[in-house]
Amino acid sequence: MRGRYRGVLEYLESLPLIDHHCHGVFEDDPDRAAFEALLTEAEAGGPPGVSMFDTQVGFALRRWCAPVLDLDAHAEPDAYLARRAELGAAEVNRRFLAAAGLEALCVDTGYAPRALLDPPALGRLAGARAHEIVRLETVAEQVAAEGVDAHGFADEVRSRLAALAPAAAGAKTIAAYRAGLELSGVRPSDAEVTGAAGILLRQEEMRVGDEILHRFLIWCAVDLGLPVQFHVGYGDVDADLRRGDPLLLISLLRAMDAAGAPALLLHNYPFHRRAGYLAQVLPNVYVDAGLATHNLGHRAPALIAELLELAPFGKVLYSSDAFGLAELYHLGALLFRRGLAGFLAGGVEDGAWTSADAERVAALVASGNARRVYGI
Amino acid sequence: MRGRYRGVLEYLESLPLIDHHCHGVFEDDPDRAAFEALLTEAEAGGPPGVSMFDTQVGFALRRWCAPVLDLDAHAEPDAYLARRAELGAAEVNRRFLAAAGLEALCVDTGYAPRALLDPPALGRLAGARAHEIVRLETVAEQVAAEGVDAHGFADEVRSRLAALAPAAAGAKTIAAYRAGLELSGVRPSDAEVTGAAGILLRQEEMRVGDEILHRFLIWCAVDLGLPVQFHVGYGDVDADLRRGDPLLLISLLRAMDAAGAPALLLHNYPFHRRAGYLAQVLPNVYVDAGLATHNLGHRAPALIAELLELAPFGKVLYSSDAFGLAELYHLGALLFRRGLAGFLAGGVEDGAWTSADAERVAALVASGNARRVYGI
Amino acid sequence: MRGRYRGVLEYLESLPLIDHHCHGVFEDDPDRAAFEALLTEAEAGGPPGVSMFDTQVGFALRRWCAPVLDLDAHAEPDAYLARRAELGAAEVNRRFLAAAGLEALCVDTGYAPRALLDPPALGRLAGARAHEIVRLETVAEQVAAEGVDAHGFADEVRSRLAALAPAAAGAKTIAAYRAGLELSGVRPSDAEVTGAAGILLRQEEMRVGDEILHRFLIWCAVDLGLPVQFHVGYGDVDADLRRGDPLLLISLLRAMDAAGAPALLLHNYPFHRRAGYLAQVLPNVYVDAGLATHNLGHRAPALIAELLELAPFGKVLYSSDAFGLAELYHLGALLFRRGLAGFLAGGVEDGAWTSADAERVAALVASGNARRVYGI
């Protein structure tokens, strides 16, 4: 088994990945509290006495990231952070982005609480093509902030998205954080959009959170031929996880499927088996396990195996959902390759599939599926 | 471990299974597109570039079914289909039904989009006793189609079911596909049934989908002493999986339990742990992992182990839920035996139970529990 | 691996556990039917032909408890019960409580259908400090039964809880069994509490089940500085498991978190991954896998590994949720130690963390986290 695992892993290490959903990283050197806060989806690290290094992702980071900074594996947190500061964020970012072994990355630029490396910079560090993913709600909020009136809102959003589309690989919606995923499959009428826009424009903080507007934005993206990414499941504490269950999307996914429009369900944990079901029963639905893969650390193989229960292997993509810390680019890619290698090698060992099939599936999941869906 | 596993597996291979929920198979030779469509719960195979052979069930089929057709394990899909056509469906059906190693099968005859082998024919091919499971909604729809009026509907359905009951092993409801499983435990009154029947009879396509009618049908079956099977969880894209969560059934299951009426929860994935919980806390609830077992292929052992967490071992049954392709009879049985053998042998290896207990439990799950519940 | 596992297990066996949620045990000798009923969360054992010994917990009991009564492992149920009766409940209770290896136990005294050993007696048998957990709804029901009027209800409950608080380690709510866990984060007003109390006091059986009263009680406990335990997920058939999903608690948990009040989610199965998510994203949320650990028997390691996916290791506690049978104190502790040892040793084996880290985490989960949260 160990030999087979090595073989499949080496093959996967030879394949550059397409990271189809990720974010920028910071260019400054975080102190320990700031670093721990970036290791969790909470707003801050643990309460007194609880360290975010004592987590699956914390241990994985000490194990796999320390050597990239020339430390022994399992370096203590303070030693790790001291070395990180010594090298400086620019060098740290360079090392981890390069270590990820990417062919291309699709960067969601819609969330930036403070300055982050932009897609071209990420691409340069990674030695990979960088594509942009347009975050739909951000575009709508920019239009709203710029002073359109309710009647002009829909057209202005449409033309803004049309201008962004040619350079974008896809669009993303964060409806899961706002209205939730129980979105109907019906395109909203112009009158509905105008009504919802009117409400939005009268708010002090113009945050898109009306399910009519989410649907409108999604159909705008579909009409522009953009694959649509959905935040699903696991994410920061802002989200009400119940409303992030992918099964809530069934009506909209059926309608998108009928329109031949690809829908990409991101993260999915702990609903990843449900997402896999959707990927089986709807031809245009795709899934990944981003964010959860690095957060589960040593348990990532269990997640990958569960995702690959019902999801056809031609429907599963890789993403890191890395944000803020360049380490997460490396960890996501490394844990994904190792988890997938274990899954595929285990099947070869048990006679479930051949080595040739294992390599073919590895290539699909590493990049082939993303290349086909996004046309990149 | 390997020796113990062999031992338990050989014991399970010596035990004919009772397949308590299955369907007919087609008698014609499908082309590749039709075959792939039968390998998934979607309405068709994948989008361009995505093969349904690149799935857990697809790989399991190439691994385990090819040798039954005299091919090497892992035969390529086109070679497999060519050999299948060469042998012809009659021979293919004969081989796979025989390979399943069945003692009895309980055939749901309520869904047949086109001609399927009927229970006696399936039984002959399998060398097993064939029983029929009456699909409740189908009977009600036949009554409606034959021109009863709303006031006569309940009595006519009751007498139709009473006529079918003596030859039937049980009844099945597909409420999960229609009204969903949130059914109250109260028997509907005659006036309620008449009202709901009136609405049904005025529809162009008379499809039972009112929760009053589902409840009425279920209680008719209970009154006739028929165990009632519930479609739960995983199924085709028609279903809204959220409404197929077995926890929604709690009120009805409590009421059936108080009446001493056995309820059999079918499929259950990805809610199988919830189903196992219900099988523990309600004496008359039974569970299986049909459909999911063959769809999960190499991962079927994980499913079986999770189902057997809370479910008492005297409450777990085998079913294939095979439909259309005779391969699924063979795959379901084979993967079930192998998964259960791994589970039981693992326990013996770790000292969790004795070999004698493992064999006793194997016999319960293979057929003893089904024999007790259905009295067959 | 076996050597590493032994090493971590021996270390865990050297650490007394804090069992932060448990109940009393009976002092009489149950017959087989009564014993089987205590092995399940159903109201009684199985239907004819189904034994509750043929379950994960039943096999674990025969494996691990028989030797404590001087029998061979895997003793047959009748032999086990005969030996149990021969020794008598007092001796049986003494042996199993001592075998659990506890440092302290936190006893929920709010449920006692008939006489149970009280906390001091349990503590003496276990050789451990015994603390009391106040069950909030029980206190409210006692106040109601003693004849307060609606206007005086809130103050009387507050002063009763204030009197109990100094001797209590925490409080517990069973809202999951009554109103369900969808509780808002808002403190109810005095007028709301008076209104709800009025309704309660007019009932024949005064059972607290109004979500206003649950919230009121929880905030009373928070105001007294008591950590609050929530029944979540798996429990007896009384509960509607859908309403026991921890994700329903998000609003209340956010509000408690903002107030710095610890919330402890008990049991959690089959929602333990969701509970782990909450423990990550909210600093003051803690989790355990009590009740499920012994019920899953040989599968407990899978449960523990899943709980430790997202939950920070500084947020996970041990509890048995033992009730009625002293065996469950022993089984819970033993299966927890073995499951955690397997998890930690597996990580050491794979290089995910060091032996020193494994021991440090073991000590946190065994008792350190409980000591920090409860201040005991």
Give the residue, B351 or B114, on which the prediction is more confident: B351
**Least CA distance to A368: which residue of chain B?**
B49
pLDDT the model gives residue B273: 98
Residue A46: what pLDDT?
A: 80
CA distance A253 to A250: 5
What are the chain C neighbours of B309 within 8 Å (beta carbons)? 56, 295-296, 299, 302-303
Tell me what pLDDT residue B236 has: 86
Q: Does B113 touch chain A (CB under 8 A)?
A: no
Token pair belonging to B183: 């059914």
Flag whether residue A37 sits within 8 Å of chain C, measured between CB atoms. no
Residue A5, burial from CB neighbour count under 10 angstroms (0-12, 13-18, 19+)? middle
Q: pLDDT (tens digit, 9 = 90+) per residue, B217-231?
A: 999 999 999 999 999
* pLDDT of res. A114: 84
Say what the pLDDT of residue C238 is.
83
Chain A residues 309-328 within an 8 A CB cutoff of chain B:
309-310, 312-315
- What number of C-beta contacts closer than 8 Å exist between A and C? 91
Angle between helices B211-223 and B250-258 (to 10 degrees): 20
Average pLDDT over residues A57-74: 98
Residues in chain A with CB shorter than 8 Å from the CB of C247 are 240-242
| pLDDT at residue C253, rounded to an integer | 98
Q: Which residues of chain C carry a pLDDT beneath 50?
A: none
pLDDT at C141: 97
* pLDDT above 70: percentage of residues in chain B: 100
So what's the pLDDT on residue A315?
A: 98
Give the pLDDT confidence score for residue C222 in this predicted structure.
Answer: 98
Search chain A and give the residue with CA nearest B58: A312
Q: Cα separation of A296 and A298, whole Å?
A: 6
- The token pair at C296 is 């899953």
Q: Which residues contact B15 (CB under 8 A, 6 or more apart)?
A: B362, B363, B366, B367
Please report, to the nearest 10 degrees, the dihedral formed by the alpha carbons of residues C357, C360, C366, C369 taken in order. -110
Check if B271 contacts A (Cβ < 8 Å). Answer: no
How many CB atoms are closer than 10 A to CB C225?
12
Return the pLDDT at B238.
83
Residue B132 has pLDDT above 80, yes or no: yes
What are the chain B neighbours of C60 within 8 Å (beta carbons)?
352
Q: Which residues pair with B107 in a beta bridge?
A: B22, B132
A283 touches chain B (CB under 8 A): yes
Decide if B314 and C46 are in contact by the 8 Å CB cutoff.
Answer: yes
**pLDDT of the residue at A236:** 86
Q: Flag whether the pTM goes above 0.90.
A: yes
For range B50-69, the mean pLDDT: 98
Is residue B1's pLDDT more than 80? Answer: no
Task: Give CA–CA dist C352/A78, Å, rounded.
Answer: 18
Q: Supply the DSSP symbol for B316.
A: B
| Set of chain B residues whose Cβ sits within 8 Å of the Cβ of C56 | 308-310
Where is pLDDT greater, at B63 or B1? B63
Q: What is the pLDDT of residue B201?
A: 96
With a CB cutoff of 8 Å and minimum separation 6, the contacts of B230 are: B172, B173, B175, B176, B181, B246, B249, B263, B264, B265, B266
Q: What is the mean pLDDT of chain A?
A: 96
pLDDT greater than 90 at residue A257: yes
Distance CA B244, CA B235 (A): 9
Q: Would you call C280 and A42 a contact, using CB atoms and an 8 Å cutoff?
A: yes
For B217, what's the count of Cα atoms within 13 Å in the CB-facing half-sphere? 30
Q: What is the tens place of the pLDDT at every residue in B82-110?
A: 999 999 999 999 999 999 999 999 999 99
Kindly state the average pLDDT of the residues B260-265: 98
Shortest Cα distance from A369 to chain B (angstroms)? 9
- Is C370 near chain A, with CB under 8 Å? no
Compare all CA atoms of chain C with the CA of A299 and give the residue at the minimum distance: C309
B54, A353: Cβ pair inside 8 Å? no
Contact C317, C365 (CB under 8 A): yes
A63 and C309 within 8 Å at the Cβ level: the answer is: no
pLDDT for residue A45 = 80
Tokens of C179: 């109103």
Cβ distance B59 to A245 less than 8 Å, yes or no, reads no
Q: Is residue A337 scored above 80 in pLDDT?
A: yes
- The mean pLDDT of B243-261, rounded to a whole number, is 97
Using the Cβ of B305 and the Cβ atoms of chain A, whether some distance falls under 8 Å is answered with no
Q: How confident is the model at residue B45 (pLDDT cuts 50, 70, 90)?
A: confident
**Min CA distance, A179 vs chain B (Å)?**
18
